[in-house]
A and B are shown apart, each in its own frame.
Chain A
Amino acid sequence: MEAVHDHSHDHHVPTGIMRYVTTTNHKDIGSLYLWFSFMMFLVGGVMALVIRAELFQPGLQVVQPEFFNQMTTLHGLVMVFGAIMPAFVGFANWQIPMMIGAPDMAFPRMNNWSFWLLPPAGMLLLGSLLAPGGAGGVGWTMYAPLTIQQGMGMDMMIFAIHILGMSSIMGSINIITTILNMRAPGMTMMKMPLFVWTWLITAYLLVASMPVLAGAVTMTLTDRHFGTHFFNAAGGGDPVLYQHIFWFFGHPEVYIIAIPAFGVISEVIPTFSRKPLFGYPSMVYATGSIAILSFLVWAHHMYTVGMPVEAQLYYMFATMLIAIPTGVKVFNWVATMWKGSMSFETPMLFAQGFLFLFTIGGFTGLVLAVTPIDIQLHDTYYVVAHFHYVMVAGALFAAFAGVYYWLPKWIGKMYDEKLGKIHFWLSLTFFNITFFVQHFLGLAGMPRRIPDYALQFADWNMVSSIGAFGFGLSQVFFLYILLKAIRSGEKAPEKPWDGATTLEWTHLPTPAPYHSFETPPDLRN
């Protein structure tokens, strides 16, 4: 059987670029996702630097306001849909089959399509810059009625969102099915590594929320071209309706990004503390609670648009409720480290950075949940600082931790530990130079998404821009570390992390073979 399989293998697997175009292998597809996401991360990063260059000094120096708006819009969309989400789907592809003892994902061909839908969507999204009038300068939230007044670039963005949504829905159905149906014998639900649990829950969030976003942008499209009045009060519609539908998707989306990051951190911290994860069942329940609550709090993004005071009270308290399961998670991570035999290799450093900075982002979120405070801070740089603590120091740092942690397993070579540590300290420092000062700007009243500002904001803006360029360069350095590891990294030992306990480290050689588990490992007893 084995021999027959290998023999036929040589004859039918295409080589070169066609291998990756037609691949049905979860590892190939995982790598495609990760490289695509890194490319988009650099593209979105350049857009961020255009924004920060313009904001380096008050007045208009670098770009026109219209182009500035297009940059804030595309930076958000590219980073959320092009960089962070595909990065974690890449992790899911590589890790889930290995961690549950499966040969591959449940639907390898659909898995391929989930990835290969991203390039056409990316072409439409970035190509919208070339459309007459440029891309939509509407913010990544794409609020009506501004979206109704945009040019052709807006339509390209809408269809890009549709295609990205298809990709996400197919990807998550694949992940759900793989986890529910492909586990090795004995791998019960409550024995699954927490990374697998977090992806199962994330996949449900995606299946439930992406179609709603599709509905929202479809209504935008018909309002633009077919004379409907969903978001026009003259016809009995309401622009606020768009915000409700968008944030019904948008708030779960925050957790779609954050929860897989929790999963990575929940693998890294126990490994480098050489202790099992503290409170595993409570981690599972906390993640599930966060997911359910995320569908019930959306209007806290909309306190200032006008809402009955009862609704404001409800959304305020429901939002603050999320702090409880999140607190459980942070407590468990800290308790895992308690009296552990800790070491601080690069993945652990990024996990510590995550833990500290994500918690700050969580606390500022709690501040913004309070309606009267939010009414002061809405649409200021305080909000920008808050969500970059969650997205960059949260999701992105977790992705870095994951890459450093699993890279030896993926390519069979080690990264340069010294360079990895430098990457961490550069990222941590420049991140805080960029974003910590934005709290001050926001509290002082500087509005977001505006290319110019009053003179009193000049100093902190200059500091923030310097930090942003430093952060960007640190990520080019990360690319160098990756390429160096791939080309000339030292051969990785079978198990470089002695504290790792999941299947990919205990049951598979390093690097992992092309087909992970030809026969499922028996994990009963």
Chain B
Amino acid sequence: MSSQSGGYYLPEPSRWPIVGSIGIFFLAFGAVLTMNAVAGGWYVVLVGALVMTYMLFGWFGAVIGESESGKYNEQVDVSFRWSMSWFIFSEVMFFAAFFGALFYMRVLSVPWLSDADTGSLLWDGFVASWPTDGPGVESKFTPMGAWGLPAINTSLLLTSGVTITVAHWALKEGRRGLLNWFMFLTIALGVVFLGLQVLEYIHGYRDLDLTLESGAYGATFYMLTGFHGFHVTLGTVMLIVIWLRGVKGHFKPEAHFGFEGVAWYWHFVDVVWLGLFIFVYWL
């Protein structure tokens, strides 16, 4: 039995961490095998993914159960807030690495390739510009324009930031119907965003000859938008969980950190997108 020690909730021994470690080992090792074209690699990935899913259901289920049975006091709530904030900060730093790569290439390394010192030695006659696939890659791509799908996607995500705030307000006011509908709306906006992103990638690969292999621009474009899309996917799954919990009657107007944590994450995804829209698509 877990103890309520000194007013702080201490969970009993748990098997979920070790399940997660086993899952992640299979996931990582399977990915290695698959990337090196070893037969059966996909099955290892699949096993890892299933074990991880089992762990996530079990672990989050346990936490939700403890939360709903009122085991978490105010101090635990503060702990959740600190930890979620710094987790999001670590995510920001992950994106910072890729934004850093983008700025470095755009501002420094690509111009260096056409300056008088190195340009004439390596690729004489290469003229630096952006977007570029570099001096040595044979491809003819068209850059992704900012004012078609990306602009629509920007408005979708910004709107979803508003709808989740309305849902939060409804939760605090005790208007559960409104909460559920606006959560549903937020999820719908996230899903439509992801659908449009898929269409954009198809457009890029099929019509614009823009691929991961299209040099510096292709790499930064797909890696930045791809990791962002992955985070939107995660955020949407989190929103769905919170939506279903809301429908089941979870959360109280004064205690609902599960909801707020997901909302913070969703706003973080939103802000990263604005950075992407400005620096990847627009400028």
**B242 at the A/B interface (Cβ < 8 Å)?**
no
* A18-42 interface code vs B (CB 8 A; 1 in, 0 out): 0101111000000000000000000
Pair A159/B13 contact, Cβ less than 8 Å:
no
* A117-150 interface code vs B (CB 8 A; 1 in, 0 out): 1011001100000000000000000000000000
Supposing A209-B93, A515-B5 touch, asked if A236 and B215 sit within 8 A by C-beta, the answer is yes
Pair A163/B24 contact, Cβ less than 8 Å:
yes
Pair A12/B12 contact, Cβ less than 8 Å:
yes
Pair B109/A208 contact, Cβ less than 8 Å:
no
Give the shortest distance, in Å, between B11 (CB) and chain A (any CB).
5
**B10 at the A/B interface (Cβ < 8 Å)?**
yes
Q: Which of B78-121 contact A (CB under 8 A)?
A: 78-79, 82-83, 86-87, 89-91, 93-94, 96-98, 100-101, 104-105, 108-110, 112-113
**A418 at the A/B interface (Cβ < 8 Å)?**
no
Pair B223/A219 contact, Cβ less than 8 Å:
yes
Supposing A24-B10, A152-B36 touch, asked if A515 and B97 sit within 8 A by C-beta, the answer is no
**A415 at the A/B interface (Cβ < 8 Å)?**
no
Give the shortest distance, in Å, between B62 (CB) and chain A (any CB).
8
* Complexed CA–CA distance, A245 and B24 (Å): 25
* Complexed CA–CA distance, A208 and B137 (Å): 34
**B69 at the A/B interface (Cβ < 8 Å)?**
no
Please give the number of chain A residues whose Cβ is less than 8 angstroms from any Cβ of chain B in the complex: 84
* Complexed CA–CA distance, A374 and B146 (Å): 46
Supposing A159-B29, A234-B136 touch, asked if A222 and B97 sit within 8 A by C-beta, the answer is no
Which of B6, B59, B122 gathers the greatest number of chain A CB atoms within 10 Å?
A: B6
Pair B10/A228 contact, Cβ less than 8 Å:
no
Q: Which of A22, A108, A236 has a CB less than 8 Å from the CB of B133?
A: A236
**A509 at the A/B interface (Cβ < 8 Å)?**
no
* A217-228 interface code vs B (CB 8 A; 1 in, 0 out): 011011011111
**B257 at the A/B interface (Cβ < 8 Å)?**
no
**B229 at the A/B interface (Cβ < 8 Å)?**
no
Pair A155/B36 contact, Cβ less than 8 Å:
yes
Q: Which of B13, B29, B134, B212 has a CB less than 8 Å from the CB of A237?
A: B134
**A404 at the A/B interface (Cβ < 8 Å)?**
no
Q: Which residues of B contact A196 (CB under 8 A)?
A: none
Pair A109/B16 contact, Cβ less than 8 Å:
yes
Q: Which of B1-58 contact A (CB under 8 A)?
A: 1, 3-8, 10-18, 20-22, 24-25, 28-29, 31-32, 35-36, 38
Q: Which of A198-246 contact B (CB under 8 A)?
A: 207-212, 214-216, 218-219, 221-222, 224-230, 232-238, 240-241, 244-245
Q: Which of A161-180 contact B (CB under 8 A)?
A: 162-163, 166, 169, 172-174, 176-177, 180
* Complexed CA–CA distance, A13 and B13 (Å): 7
Q: Which of B11, B90, B219 has a CB less than 8 Å from the CB of A230?
A: B219
Give the shortest distance, in Å, between A342 (CB) and chain B (any CB).
37
**B211 at the A/B interface (Cβ < 8 Å)?**
yes
Pair B215/A212 contact, Cβ less than 8 Å:
no
Which residues of A are interface residues toward B (Cβ below 8 A)? 1, 5, 8-9, 11-14, 19, 21-24, 102-104, 106-110, 112-113, 116-117, 119-120, 123-124, 151-152, 155-156, 159-160, 162-163, 166, 169, 172-174, 176-177, 180-182, 207-212, 214-216, 218-219, 221-222, 224-230, 232-238, 240-241, 244-245, 248, 515, 517-520
* Complexed CA–CA distance, A11 and B2 (Å): 11
Chain A's closest residue to B110 (CB) is: A236
Q: Which of A109, A181, A234 has a CB less than 8 Å from the CB of B75?
A: A181
- Interface majority SS (helix, strand, loop, mixed), chain B: helix
Q: Which of B14, B100, B113, B223 has a CB less than 8 Å from the CB of A248?
A: B100
Q: Which of B75, B89, B109, B213 has a CB less than 8 Å from the CB of A238?
A: B109
Pair B97/A123 contact, Cβ less than 8 Å:
no
Q: Which residues of B contact A518 (CB under 8 A)?
A: 5-6
Give the shortest distance, in Å, between B170 (CB) and chain A (any CB).
29
Give the shortest distance, in Å, between B147 (CB) and chain A (any CB).
25
Q: Which of B217-238 contact A (CB under 8 A)?
A: 217-219, 222-223
Supposing A24-B10, A177-B79, A245-B97 touch, asked if A12 and B32 sit within 8 A by C-beta, the answer is no
* Complexed CA–CA distance, A169 and B17 (Å): 15
Q: Which residues of A contact B6 (CB under 8 A)?
A: 103, 517-520
* Complexed CA–CA distance, A222 and B216 (Å): 12
Give the shortest distance, in Å, between B101 (CB) and chain A (any CB).
6
* Complexed CA–CA distance, A21 and B211 (Å): 45
**B246 at the A/B interface (Cβ < 8 Å)?**
no
* Complexed CA–CA distance, A103 and B5 (Å): 7
